[in-house]
Structure 1
Amino acid sequence: MGHPAILTVDDDPAVSRAIARDLRRRYGDQYRIVRASSASEALDALKELKLRGGRVAVILADYRMPQTNGIEFLEQAMDLFPNARRALLTAYADTDAAIQAINVVDVDHYLLKPWDPPEEKLYPVIDALLDAWQATGDREMEDIRVVGHRWSEPSYEIRDFLARNLVPYRWLGADESEGRRLLEAAGVGPESIPLVVTSDGRTFAQPSTTEVAEAVGLSTAPGRDFYDLIIVGGGPAGLGAAVYGASEGLKTLLVERRAVGGQAGQSSRIENYLGFPDGISGAQLTDRARRQAGKFSAEVLTTRDVTGLRQDGSARTLSFADGGEISAHSIVLATGVAYRPLVADGIAELTGSGVYYGSASTEGPSCAGTDVYIVGGANSAGQAALFFSRYARTVTLLVRGDSLEASMSYYLIQQLNKIDNIRVRTRCEVIGAQGDGHLQAITICDSKEGQSTTVECGYLFVFIGAEPRTDWLGTAVARDEKGFVYTGPDLLSNGTRPKGWDRERDPFYLECSVPGIFAAGDVRANSVKRVASAVGEGAMAVTLVHRYLEAQ
């Protein structure tokens, strides 16, 4: 099919020639550089590439162009080559507008003009975009097909699992003609949904996530029996520990029960993470971190549920739900937190059928023309409101407190205030949910007005509370009354070391009540609940692991 293309479009001839020249100098031997002087000319070029079976790796578009600006052009280009990486070329004066637009359209980066010298300001950005494109390739969405019902909780679980693990798939309703044909070809009926069909024709009726993971090539079994370091949990803290541990030569294994990225991986856009001034989606950040860990040979297991932890002499051993075990010199607990269940009539019965926990991005297109309600007032809820406002008729944030200021970042509040179809209702709680087979209405108690009302609602997304996933630890390590893990100074009571501590030193800062076991990120008592601090703690934990191992 020839070399994949890098397409650039700019209506300024001098700029257009300059960027094409710089791109050819660096990438001309591996990529075809296509230059266009207008959005319409660029779209014609993309259509011709599509018809000829060509591939497009990166699209660079000038932000300020007549008739069609760069954002509008990139939206249309996505329809032709959805997997191409996208960047804006913008002048300094347009930076704020470009960033605001990037928050609405999933653009990967923006480049300020001029980009001289290109070795510092252009090539590193293009290299990162090409790396990301090469990691996903230009596979069509039909690789994996999932047949199910829109309001089926098991169907939603499979779709969400694939999406969060960045596995391309095509969704087919069981009542659609193609969906019915696949069910018939597999020899099963609609009662056997969800049905997963792989690209090589294998079929899985009502599969577990482990079966799906193995079918799509995700790793579910460790490559060795013993490691230097095992990390439990694949959120920002776990990924940070995996990258630093593996890069420093430790035999490193990361174990994740569902999907790498944790709650941060579900975020539609993280804008206050250092080094990403135009923001980055949780999925993109997770993808980069996972590839970075793999670059240093860290192993990553998915769909493995850890159920126990014990000491075996100098080893630390984890038990899995399937009866298996794995041991290491040291353990980092990075299991994060889970959203607290919303206790209200009808919620449990409709979970997965209109009621969802976290930002279920797979439901975005299905929300078109509906009224979406979001429960919660923290950053995750605000980011979800911005995301779903692209699709829904209205998005309403239901906040228990008096305002958003106490729980949400200022920049998010400002963005919410600028979007017409987003409303914020304070001192409100959901006390009931109704629907026949799927969510159709919710009952809201408004303490300001002292009354309850029932409103139509197609989708309800819940972002409340933060419960640590630590029940499986039992009494293995000390925890507080809420289940968060005590570490370092918090373990010292009046200068006394924790019961059973067998070292002549105090616990290291992130070390638990058992030597060689560390905690990082949201699961740790008194931690700062931010992505940047979680990544930092993951890296710090590895430094302390080295100190622990050196003293063994």
Structure 2
Amino acid sequence: MANPAILTVDDDPAVSRSVARDVRRRYGDRYRVVRADSGPAALDALREIKLRGEQVALMLADYRMPEMNGIQFLESAMDIFPRARRVLLTAYADTDAAIDAINVVDLDHYLLKPWNPPEEKLYPVVDALLEAWLAAPDQSIPDTKVVGHRWSAPSFAVRDFLARNLVPYRWLTTEDAEGMRLLSAAGAGPDDVPLVITPDGVSLVKPSESTLAAHVGLTTTPAEEFYDLVVVGAGPAGLGAAVYGASEGLRTVLVEQRATGGQAGQSSRIENYLGFPDGVSGAQLTDRARRQALRFGAEILTTREVVALDAGGSTRLIRFSDGSSVAAHTVVLATGVSYRLLEVPGLAELTGRGVFYGSAATEAPSCSGEEIYIVGGANSAGQAAVYFSRYARRVHMLIRGPDLTRSMSSYLVDQIAAIPTIEVHPHTQVVGASGGDHLETLTLCDPRSGQAREVNTSWLFIFIGAQPRTDWLDKAVVRDANGFVVTGSDLVVDGSRPAGWSLPRDPYHLESSMPGVFAAGDVRAYSVKRVASAVGEGAMAVSLIHRYLEAQ
């Protein structure tokens, strides 16, 4: 088991290094010292520690920080590690704020800066707090253990599935003594990975996602055969529809093939979402929305692949890949989009072994001190670049255009320009990749001159646009040439309603060519590709569903 962590957070680099150095000097043999330069970054670190099933003993936070002050950080951190000891670092002028924080965040102590010598002013305080924590530490929570190879694509898939479904786990490689011990105890060998050991001690060798979901507490089977509303896809639009549908009394089930959150759930930081001035990670937003939907009574099913949509009178039937089905009065299609594959020689064989589509935040700590490459110039790529810059020695952004301004929000362009470890390479494309058990070399090319060069790297993250997840719909509803679901007035051409439309009215704004079936979010043709608009469309779909049901 990893040593408990002591977290320090201060936006002043000199002070941050000083705090971490003093703490590590005395406690580094028993505790792992984690350093962050802002409140949001520290919260991200705490969530990663939580997902790994590890513990935090002590948090030391500076009071004066620009994005999120120390009191705000400690208040948020209490939700993640409620029994960790909390210390606020203050200047003399801020002592009143520190005293107020005792009531706001149940502060254990505040320390005035500077504290030289630490032997007199720092260590006695920390000693006492750590002793108190050891006397009553966080209660041990049985965790899921994953044993695998560092560069194994199936091992990565299991870790990514657990992380995106917010299931805490401990990652052990076949190079760890404990990892090999667990393999031996399960009667498995180094080639039998990934091995997953559930909290109740069940060993799963190379489990499918559905098997894994069933053993880690995720729901995979609907409780009923008929609902008022089936929502297909658990991204922001689907979660929005589930929250509003369930809160307004509709019997609602949300069906997701992989994990709640969709592409937005993989975002390291969403900074332009209303109500979060300091930004919010996709995982945090997803977790809140998921808990909100469950609180209102919605069911959430994972690892269920939807393969067909049928109509039978006023009933809409959703068919699953295992042959089962679920029926409802109405359906919301919120399947979102997936990143397009980069068709380059060598990449397919290395996917999951150094080549990743999307942010793959589970891999960020492994990128520490290394050179990583990101393909793409839209917001998702920019958010990933900012996030990975906290770990990597240098982040290289490869874009086809001359700069980022044409495809990325200006706030993000400004952030990237201010981070010296991010380098943008205009007019650059990946044309080749090679490696043994993992990615080792990329071939880059300037399409204007045709000049190519090779770079050594073990990490490539790809964000090159999106394609709708609608192949399974076949001809059930009208889709445009790119596969997006056509809705509302766009279905009425020259005054004619779509073929097969049986109602004496035009389709509602978000309604597809099948009455009672609505589309929301990125999967809908001509939608605005933003988290806020997706959530709004999910809520709007429920309002239109009420109108549809009242008319039946």
Distance 2:493 2:323 in 1: 37
Q: For 1:211, what is the secondary structure of its paired residue?
A: helix
Q: For 2:508, what is the secondary structure of its paired residue?
A: coil
Aligned match of 2:409: 409
Contact 2:38 2:68 in 1 (8 A): no
Distance 1:86 1:178 in 2: 28
Offset of residue 175 of structure 1: 2.8
Offset of residue 450 of structure 1: 3.6
Aligned match of 1:353: 353
Where does 1:223-372 land on structure 2 (aligned, <5 Å)? 223-372=223-372
Contact 2:315 2:328 in 1 (8 A): yes
Distance 1:472 1:72 in 2: 39
Offset of residue 82 of structure 1: 5.3
Q: For 2:191, what is the secondary structure of its paired residue?
A: helix
**Residues 73 and 156 from structure 1, CA distance in 2 versus in 1: closer, same or farther, beyond 3 angstroms?**
closer
Aligned match of 1:530: 530
Q: For 1:191, what is the secondary structure of its paired residue?
A: coil
Q: For 2:331, what is the secondary structure of its paired residue?
A: strand
Distance 1:321 1:69 in 2: 45
Distance 2:312 2:330 in 1: 12
C-alpha deviations, 1:128-161, integer Å up to 9, x for none? xxxxxxxxx9676861110110111110000000
Offset of residue 70 of structure 1: 7.7
Aligned match of 1:484: 484
Aligned match of 1:59: none
Q: Name the amino acid aligned to 2:160.
A: D
Aligned match of 2:380: 380
Contact 2:238 2:334 in 1 (8 A): yes
Q: Which moved more, 1:360-369 or 1:523-532?
A: 360-369
**Residues 280 and 74 from structure 1, CA distance in 2 versus in 1: closer, same or farther, beyond 3 angstroms?**
closer
Identity of aligned residues (%): 58
Contact 1:307 1:473 in 2 (8 A): yes
Distance 2:399 2:426 in 1: 5
Contact 1:229 1:245 in 2 (8 A): yes
Q: Name the amino acid aligned to 1:335.
A: T
Aligned match of 1:399: 399
Q: For 1:300, what is the secondary structure of its paired residue?
A: strand
Contact 1:86 1:108 in 2 (8 A): no
Q: For 1:440, what is the secondary structure of its paired residue?
A: strand
Pair 1:95 & 2:66 matched: yes
Q: For 2:328, what is the secondary structure of its paired residue?
A: strand
Q: Name the amino acid aligned to 2:66.
A: T
Contact 1:141 1:168 in 2 (8 A): no
Q: For 2:348, what is the secondary structure of its paired residue?
A: helix
Q: Which moved more, 1:225-234 or 1:447-456?
A: 447-456
Q: For 1:190, what is the secondary structure of its paired residue?
A: coil
Aligned match of 1:208: 208
Q: Name the amino acid aligned to 1:143.
A: D
Aligned match of 1:143: 143
Q: For 1:431, what is the secondary structure of its paired residue?
A: strand
Q: Name the amino acid aligned to 1:523.
A: V
Q: Which moved more, 1:259-268 or 1:189-198?
A: 189-198
Contact 2:68 2:278 in 1 (8 A): no
Q: Name the amino acid aligned to 2:504.
A: E
Pair 1:447 & 2:451 matched: no
Distance 2:255 2:222 in 1: 9
Q: Name the amino acid aligned to 1:468.
A: P
Aligned match of 1:470: 470
Q: For 1:196, what is the secondary structure of its paired residue?
A: strand
Contact 1:43 1:77 in 2 (8 A): no
Offset of residue 447 of structure 1: 2.8
Distance 1:347 1:9 in 2: 38
Distance 1:168 1:205 in 2: 19
Where does 1:503-518 land on structure 2 (aligned, <5 Å)? 503-518=503-518
Distance 1:439 1:69 in 2: 32
Q: For 1:241, what is the secondary structure of its paired residue?
A: helix
Offset of residue 88 of structure 1: 7.1
Q: For 2:439, what is the secondary structure of its paired residue?
A: coil
Aligned match of 1:159: 159
Contact 2:9 2:62 in 1 (8 A): no
Distance 1:517 1:73 in 2: 43
Q: Name the amino acid aligned to 1:444.
A: L
Offset of residue 95 of structure 1: 3.4
Contact 1:141 1:169 in 2 (8 A): no
Give the TM-score of the pair, scaled to structure 1.
Answer: 0.79
Contact 2:148 2:155 in 1 (8 A): yes
**Residues 442 and 335 from structure 1, CA distance in 2 versus in 1: closer, same or farther, beyond 3 angstroms?**
same
Distance 1:192 1:361 in 2: 25
Give the TM-score of the pair, scaled to structure 2.
Answer: 0.79
Give unmatched runs, 5+ long, in structure 2.
Answer: 1-6, 11-17, 81-87, 89-93, 106-136
Offset of residue 180 of structure 1: 1.1
Question: Alignment length, in residue pairs?
Answer: 479
Give unmatched runs, 5+ long, in structure 1.
Answer: 1-6, 11-37, 52-62, 124-136
Offset of residue 72 of structure 1: 10
Pair 1:549 & 2:520 matched: no
Contact 1:374 1:463 in 2 (8 A): yes
Distance 1:535 1:477 in 2: 22
Distance 1:310 1:277 in 2: 43
**Residues 167 and 468 from structure 1, CA distance in 2 versus in 1: closer, same or farther, beyond 3 angstroms?**
same
Offset of residue 496 of structure 1: 1.0
Aligned match of 1:32: none
Offset of residue 85 of structure 1: 12
Distance 1:146 1:358 in 2: 22
Distance 1:267 1:319 in 2: 30
Distance 1:454 1:181 in 2: 40
**Residues 207 and 279 from structure 1, CA distance in 2 versus in 1: closer, same or farther, beyond 3 angstroms?**
same
**Residues 454 and 308 from structure 1, CA distance in 2 versus in 1: closer, same or farther, beyond 3 angstroms?**
same
C-alpha deviations, 1:108-127, integer Å up to 9, x for none? 999xx999xx9xxx79xxxx
Q: Name the amino acid aligned to 1:263.
A: Q
**Residues 217 and 542 from structure 1, CA distance in 2 versus in 1: closer, same or farther, beyond 3 angstroms?**
same
Aligned match of 1:24: none
Aligned match of 1:182: 182
Distance 1:84 1:239 in 2: 34
**Residues 164 and 8 from structure 1, CA distance in 2 versus in 1: closer, same or farther, beyond 3 angstroms?**
closer
Q: For 1:452, what is the secondary structure of its paired residue?
A: strand
**Residues 231 and 192 from structure 1, CA distance in 2 versus in 1: closer, same or farther, beyond 3 angstroms?**
same
CA RMSD of aligned residues (A): 3.7
Distance 1:423 1:69 in 2: 22
Contact 2:8 2:59 in 1 (8 A): no
Distance 2:157 2:524 in 1: 28
C-alpha deviations, 1:211-233, integer Å up to 9, x for none? 11111100000010000000000
C-alpha deviations, 1:433-465, integer Å up to 9, x for none? 110110011001113554111100110000011
**Residues 286 and 86 from structure 1, CA distance in 2 versus in 1: closer, same or farther, beyond 3 angstroms?**
farther
Contact 2:236 2:262 in 1 (8 A): yes
Contact 1:403 1:426 in 2 (8 A): yes
Offset of residue 9 of structure 1: 12
**Residues 87 and 247 from structure 1, CA distance in 2 versus in 1: closer, same or farther, beyond 3 angstroms?**
farther
Q: Name the amino acid aligned to 1:352.
A: G
Aligned match of 1:519: 519
Contact 2:9 2:38 in 1 (8 A): no
Contact 1:198 1:215 in 2 (8 A): yes
Aligned match of 2:126: none
C-alpha deviations, 1:177-210, integer Å up to 9, x for none? 1111111111111221110001221100010011
**Residues 98 and 230 from structure 1, CA distance in 2 versus in 1: closer, same or farther, beyond 3 angstroms?**
same
Distance 1:487 1:87 in 2: 52
Off by >4 Å, runs of 4+ in structure 1: 7-10, 68-91, 96-99, 105-110, 137-142
